[in-house]
Amino acid sequence: MPVLSQTSVVVHDPDGLSVLTQADVALWAATHTQAYLDGNVPAGRGQIVAAVPVPTSTPETAVTYLYVSNYTSLARTRDLAREYAAHFHNQSEVQTYVAGVVPAQVAQADYLQSRLHLFEVATLVLIAAVVGLTFRSVVAPFVVLLAAGLGYLVAIRSLGVLAAALGFALPDQLQPLIAALLIGVVTDYCVLFFAGLRQQLDRGLPRLDATRRAVTTNAPIIAVAGITVAAGTAALLAAEFELFQAFGPALSLTVVIGVLVSLTLVPAMMAILGERLFGLGTLRASPRRPTRRGTGRLLRIVVDRRGAAVATLLATGLLVLAAAPLLHMRLDLSFTSGLPADDPVSRGAAVLEESGVRGVIAPTEVIVEGDAVIEQREALERLQQAIEAQPGVAEVLGPAQNPFTDGFGVVFSPDGDAARFVVILDSDPLAAPAISDLRELSAQLDTLAAEAGLQDAEVAVTGQTAIAGELAAITRENLRITLTAVLLVELLILIVYLRALCAPVVLLACSALGVAAALGLSVLLFQVLLGDPGLAFYVPFATAVLLLALGSDYNVFAVGSIWEAAARHPLSKAIMLAMPSTSRAISAAGVILAATFAMVAIIPLQTFRQVAFTMAAGLLIDTFLIRPVLTPAVLTLLGRAASWPSRRVRTESVPVDELRRTGAAGARSGGPEVTRDETLENEVLDDLTAGAEAR
């Protein structure tokens, strides 16, 4: 007789179930189970073939396991359970709930599908507003929406076709990530193109010449950045777990499509619209905003070796402090814990929690096997008492509840060589606390069996909690494998792009520290402050890979510009030239991408809120701490060694006044408006453009 089920019906009366209700629970289950006991399983899918009431020590709650015919869909299984529970609706004092893994999975899918379109629309509206404010234009947002919308449609269609052709899966969890990633990267690349076009138009170049110059300068960088993100996400294929492998081709292809749209449609729209992209006549009419003095001061600090050392220590200290909670990260595999508190499945789980038998919806089986082991009844009963006394165990059903030798296949096997204990844990059976409790119990079982006096018997554990524990271990191992693969791929790309070895290693280390800080903050928020059992098992996996890939993407943008300037100037001057000219566009791109992923929180599932927070926090850390502070500081400390084994970088002393003028010119070259003092500014643009063209 099976006792493991993924669908349960909970009947509850706060004042205690009456004798009539308890009898009704048993008779209603027998009505659905008699055919199974007679060996006549109903034919066809979409039917209940058995219902098994589970005895518990709680007088106010009854639980019945449901078993359905083969090939019944998850949604149909949930509906059958609801129909079964409706039998008790004629008793006004009785509350009924459908609980278990299957109803929770269906509920999550329903929430996802019901909010997915709202998320897509809200994200596009947000992007339009941010781009409009960034460029003070009503035309630029429409170009971005056109590019992002077209790219998203192409990506969704292409992924469906390729998934069917190549045989990889597209999990439901991917849909919001695909949308956020595609919309975010296309918008980022549009911002970089638009900023470049505006710089060239500010210099007085005609529309087509300005477009050509902007595309020549930025297209190679965008192409390399796109390859970096695509290759990083493709490294997910190194995972051994099929679910994680499915993330790889889907996310990688999404980025490739975003890059192709950005490199084809966007330049064409720029060539057609020219100044009209920013609003007719606004370029020459708008005065330049004053250069931000704080940015200039910060750069002058980090290009000085003493200032760079202090900045590196402070930034690294903050990141390490933020990452510290990561040491206590738990992985949560529960489908119920991520549901809203007012969801019927969550309410059913809460009732079981209050009754002290939360784990009854997915109990653990302890199997004792040995020749004629059922003859050791006293030892088996002592073992049952010992198991029940372990931490995290609510109650145990086993030989002590069965006065007969014949257990009807529930407690004892027909051949007498096996006995079964049904262990009900006191917490969510798929959450981290239950997994930890079961791990400790499993480690003690052999000792408990020996102390109980069992002889010549082997003890084994099975059930959904045991499977969840194995999956958590697999996830941790796959995370190590995949992150190693991502780091190697990103390192190789940066080495080839920068033609150096030392700087790419240090830059990737900075990015990895930023990822750890983002995950640490997520652990602090969700586990410590909000009391979640842990981070959803795929959240650290997906977010870490994406953040590492996108961090390398920004390395290409920011450090690539420094490298081009360093070919003609000392390192300190190169940083002062390149950082201001790219910082505004990169900051805008980082904020836009962070906001895009933050919108994933619209989906009312805790899993997606964890994804949203982790991605947004990681991108903001990268945008406002790693890129403007830590990156130039560590490059300054590395000095000539940054470009090793090449000799691109020079570290000649540059007067403070010259650095100040250089930084001011670099800041003006990155702004959207025209400047009257263009001599040094044009030198900055010419240096960066010439470097891009040469590359």
Contact 257, 158 (CB under 8 A): yes
Q: How far apart are CA 317 and CA 625, in angstroms?
A: 12
Give the domain-ending residue among 420, 451, 468.
468
**Six-digit token string for 478:** 């796959």
- Looking at the chain, the whole-number percentage of residues with pLDDT higher than 70 is 88
Contact 332, 531 (CB under 8 A): no
> How many angstroms separate the Cα of 536 from the Cα of each of 268, 338, 421, 521?
42, 8, 29, 15
pLDDT band, residue 296 (cuts 50/70/90): low
DSSP-based three-state secondary structure for 442: helix
Taking only the tens place, the pLDDT of each residue in 369-391 is: 999 888 898 999 999 999 999 99
**Six-digit token string for 2:** 């099976």
Residue 665 has pLDDT above 60, yes or no: no
Indicate whether 519 and 668 sit together in one domain: yes
Taking only the tens place, the pLDDT of each residue in 97-152 is: 999 999 999 999 999 999 999 999 999 999 999 999 888 889 999 999 999 999 99
Indicate whether 538 and 645 sit together in one domain: yes
Give the pLDDT of residue 679: 45
Q: Any idea what the CATH number is for the domain that residue 85 is in?
A: 3.30.70
Q: How far apart are CA 465 and CA 359, in angstroms?
A: 9
**562 CA to centre of own chain:** 31
Residue 675 has pLDDT above 50, yes or no: no
In a domain, 335, yes or no: no
Tell the burial category of 62 from Cβ atoms under 10 Å away from its Cβ (0-12, 13-18, 19+).
Answer: buried
Contact 346, 111 (CB under 8 A): no
Give the pLDDT of residue 129: 92
Lowest mean pLDDT among 59-73, 141-155, 376-390, 548-562: 548-562
Give the domain-ending residue among 75, 99, 123.
99
Query: Closest Cα partner for 267 from 337, 226, 210, 343?
Result: 210
Angle, helix 679-694 to helix 656-669, in steps of 10 degrees: 70
Q: Any idea what the CATH number is for the domain that residue 426 is in?
A: 3.30.70.1320
Q: How far apart are CA 151 and CA 163, in angstroms?
A: 18
**CB neighbours of residue 425 within 10 Å:** 28
In a domain, 350, yes or no: yes
Q: How far apart are CA 581 and CA 667, in angstroms?
A: 5
Q: How far apart are CA 13 and CA 26, in angstroms?
A: 16
Q: What is the Cα Rg of the chain in Å?
A: 31
Contact 190, 171 (CB under 8 A): no
In a domain, 519, yes or no: yes
Give the pLDDT of residue 140: 93
Indicate whether 202 and 282 sit together in one domain: yes
Out of 45-54, 493-502, 581-590, 612-621, give the one with best mean pLDDT: 612-621
In a domain, 492, yes or no: no
Indicate whether 309 and 376 sit together in one domain: no
Give the domain-ending residue among 99, 134, 169.
99
Residue 629 has pLDDT above 70, yes or no: yes
First-to-last alpha carbon distance for the chain, in angstroms, is: 70
Taking only the tens place, the pLDDT of each residue in 466-508 is: 999 998 888 888 888 989 999 999 899 889 888 889 989 999 9
Instruction: Fill in the amino acid letter for 20.
Output: L
Helix (H) or strand (E) holding 66: strand 61-68
In a domain, 3, yes or no: no
Measured torsion, CA atoms of residues 107, 109, 110, 115, in degrees rounded to the nearest 10: 130
Q: How far apart are CA 278 and CA 104, in angstroms?
A: 49
Indicate whether 590 and 621 sit together in one domain: yes
pLDDT band, residue 279 (cuts 50/70/90): confident
**Six-digit token string for 327:** 């040491």
Give the pLDDT of residue 288: 45
Residue 315 has pLDDT above 70, yes or no: yes
Residue 458 has pLDDT above 80, yes or no: yes
Q: How far apart are CA 642 and CA 634, in angstroms?
A: 9
Indicate whether 423 and 569 sit together in one domain: no
In a domain, 186, yes or no: yes
The DSSP secondary-structure symbol of 602 reads G
**Six-digit token string for 66:** 């449901």
Q: Between 560 and 16, where is the model more confident?
A: 16
Give the length of the chain: 695
HSE at residue 314, side-chain half, CA atoms within 13 A, is 11
DSSP-based three-state secondary structure for 650: coil
> How many angstroms separate the Cα of 266 from the Cα of each of 197, 384, 403, 695?
11, 69, 78, 22
Contact 437, 392 (CB under 8 A): yes
pLDDT band, residue 286 (cuts 50/70/90): very low
Q: How far apart are CA 396 and CA 468, in angstroms?
A: 20
Q: How far apart are CA 511 and CA 547, in angstroms?
A: 8
Q: How far apart are CA 95 and CA 13, in angstroms?
A: 6
Taking only the tens place, the pLDDT of each residue in 170-216 is: 777 788 989 999 998 999 899 989 988 998 888 889 999 999 999 99
Q: Is the dihedral of CA 364, 368, 372, 376 positive or negative?
A: negative
Taking only the tens place, the pLDDT of each residue in 160-171 is: 888 888 777 777
DSSP-based three-state secondary structure for 370: coil
Instruction: Fill in the amino acid letter for 150.
Output: L
Average pLDDT over residues 621-636: 91
DSSP-based three-state secondary structure for 222: helix
Indicate whether 206 and 265 sit together in one domain: yes
Indicate whether 461 and 521 sit together in one domain: no
In a domain, 209, yes or no: yes
Indicate whether 450 and 378 sit together in one domain: yes
Give the pLDDT of residue 620: 95
Give the pLDDT of residue 634: 92
Contact 475, 538 (CB under 8 A): yes
Residue 37 has pLDDT above 70, yes or no: no
Q: How far apart are CA 396 and CA 368, in angstroms?
A: 14
Tell the burial category of 680 from Cβ atoms under 10 Å away from its Cβ (0-12, 13-18, 19+).
Answer: middle
Contact 421, 386 (CB under 8 A): no
Indicate whether 269 and 133 sit together in one domain: yes
**CB neighbours of residue 10 within 10 Å:** 24
- Looking at the chain, the whole-number percentage of residues with pLDDT higher than 90 is 47
**CB neighbours of residue 564 within 10 Å:** 24
DSSP-based three-state secondary structure for 269: helix
Indicate whether 463 and 526 sit together in one domain: no
* Full residue range of the structural domain in which residue 636 is found: 115-328+499-694
Planar angle of CA 446, 452, 455, nearest 5 degrees = 70
Q: How far apart are CA 370 and CA 383, in angstroms?
A: 15
Residue 678 has pLDDT above 60, yes or no: no
Angle, helix 571-598 to helix 174-202, in steps of 10 degrees: 140
Tally of domains in the chain: 3
Report the mean per-residue pLDDT for the chain. Answer: 85
Indicate whether 688 and 613 sit together in one domain: yes
Instruction: Fill in the amino acid letter for 553.
Output: D
In a domain, 336, yes or no: no
pLDDT band, residue 681 (cuts 50/70/90): very low
